[in-house]
């Protein structure tokens, strides 16, 4: 079973792909391709999740007391989550359910 860091990385990767396809017209058949803006955002988010100071004891980023994203990038991630979050249940139900389970974890102090 994957730890929460790995699940968060998988989740943000899938969400950015959904967002890029829906908003920037990335073709569905090119599942590995993202536009430059979305690639930059995904790379940034993966690094931030990897360097989380709470490690495997973390909660989901939305409930974290420490905001490790730059304000501009945080707004971009919020836009991705607003768009892709509702679509996750249809496209990646297992990841969506794990994210909901993880979101029940208590935030670290």
Q: Round the CA-based radius of gyration of the chain to a whole number and report it.
A: 13
Res 46: pLDDT: 94
Q: Is residue 91 part of a domain?
A: yes
Range of the domain at 36: 4-102
Q: Is residue 30 part of a domain?
A: yes
Per-residue pLDDT of the chain (109 residues; tens, 9 = 90+): 578 788 889 889 999 999 999 888 776 655 568 888 999 999 999 999 888 887 777 767 666 777 788 889 999 999 998 999 888 888 888 877 877 776 776 655 5
Residue where the block lists tokens 């102090």: 109
Tally of structural domains, the chain:
1
Q: Which among 22, 10, 4, 6 has a CA at the least distance from the CA of 79?
A: 22
Res 101: pLDDT: 73
Q: Is residue 109 part of a domain?
A: no
Residue where the block lists tokens 């967002």: 19
Q: Is residue 92 part of a domain?
A: yes
Q: Is residue 108 part of a domain?
A: no
Q: Is residue 107 part of a domain?
A: no
Res 28: pLDDT: 65
Q: Is residue 57 part of a domain?
A: yes
Q: Is residue 84 part of a domain?
A: yes
């Amino acid at each position: 079973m994957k730890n929460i860091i790995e699940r968060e990385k998988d989740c943000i990767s899938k969400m950015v792909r959904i967002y890029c396809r829906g908003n920037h017209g990335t073709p569905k058949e090119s599942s590995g391709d993202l536009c430059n803006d979305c690639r930059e955002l995904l790379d940034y988010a993966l690094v931030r999740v990897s360097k989380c100071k709470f490690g495997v004891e973390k909660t989901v980023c939305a409930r974290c007391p420490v905001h490790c994203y730059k304000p501009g990038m945080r707004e971009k991630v919020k836009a991705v989550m607003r768009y892709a979050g509702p679509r996750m249940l249809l496209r990646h139900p297992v990841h969506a359910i794990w994210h909901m389970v993880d979101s029940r974890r208590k935030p670290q102090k």
